[in-house]
């Protein structure tokens, strides 16, 4: 792989969140988690496939690739108790990272409190052992001000990463949303990570996000600790650049 393709591969959360996913499909996904000396940042699957992914990665790649899963997904419910229980079950199954959906409909209706409660409560469930990524569903928030507010609330209540999208709505990651989110990170907590998810299909797409993040947070930000790409179709294009 060339240098940019290798970076994109290492920053990728290789993802399958299809309603028809089977254990065999998840095992096949996990087999793609390493390419020569490179490995992806994480494998992201539905909670019911966490144990399959953990087992497959241990057998095929090794235990160094984390397994991420989604909770409160994709609707972004206001049911804090349910979101916490889903998170606890996912952690008990072995999930290393939790991607939880912010109650963005509530935020649009002016209810900041439930957003704060849900993120804070899920962060408490994750403790110090699991990484928390908060999906703000930027394409549904409509304005830069709402994207900034969702990012601020998420970071203030414990998000380790803020993530653009579920991939289940018409508008997912955009450079406009990423710019707003990255500026909030720079101001509020430069140690918070950023994840662009949805409609990132080519190396050229990834490079645009790299350039934006570097311009705001510096070259040291471009690593899996801080920067992720939520993608599945991107993998084919990266391998073509090997």
Catalytically active residues are 99, 163, 195
Cα–Cα distances (Å) from 48 to 10, 74, 110, in that order, read: 25, 15, 33
**CA–CA dist 27, 206 (Å, integer):** 25
Cβ(241)–Cβ(222) below 8 Å: no
Cα–Cα distances (Å) from 96 to 8, 27, 109, 153, in that order, read: 21, 17, 32, 23
Which residues fall within 8 angstroms of residue 139, CB to CB, at 6 or more apart?
A: 164, 165, 169, 170, 171, 172, 174, 177, 198
Q: Which residues of 58-97 are buried (b: 16+ CB within 10 A; e: fewer)?
A: eeebeeebbbbbbbbbeebbbebeebbebbeebbebebbb
Cross-strand pairs, 19: none
Rg of the chain in Å (alpha carbons): 16
What 3-state class would DSSP assign to 228?
strand
């Amino acid at each position: 792989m060339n240098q940019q393709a290798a970076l994109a591969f290492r920053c990728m959360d290789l993802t399958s969140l299809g309603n028809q996913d089977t254990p065999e499909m998840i095992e096949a996904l996990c087999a793609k988690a390493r390419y020569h000396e490179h490995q992806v940042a994480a494998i992201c699957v539905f909670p019911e496939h966490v144990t399959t992914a953990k087992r497959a990665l241990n057998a095929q790649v090794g235990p160094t690739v984390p397994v991420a899963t989604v909770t409160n997904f994709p609707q972004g419910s206001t049911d804090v108790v349910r979101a916490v229980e889903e998170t606890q079950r996912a952690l008990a199954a072995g999930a290393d990272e939790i991607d939880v959906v912010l109650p963005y409909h509530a935020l649009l209706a002016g209810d900041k409190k439930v957003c704060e409660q849900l993120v804070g409560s899920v962060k408490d469930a994750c403790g110090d052992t699991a990484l928390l990524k908060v999906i703000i569903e930027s394409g549904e928030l409509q304005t830069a001000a709402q994207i900034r507010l969702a990012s601020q609330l998420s970071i203030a209540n414990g998000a380790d990463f803020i993530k653009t999208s579920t991939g289940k709505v018409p508008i997912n990651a955009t450079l406009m949303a990423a710019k707003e989110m990255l500026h909030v990170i720079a101001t509020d907590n430069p140690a918070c990570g950023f994840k662009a998810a949805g409609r990132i299909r080519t190396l050229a797409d990834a490079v645009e996000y790299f350039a934006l993040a570097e311009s705001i947070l510096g070259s040291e930000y471009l690593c899996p600790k801080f920067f992720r790409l939520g993608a599945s179709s991107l993998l084919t294009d990266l391998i073509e650049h090997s």
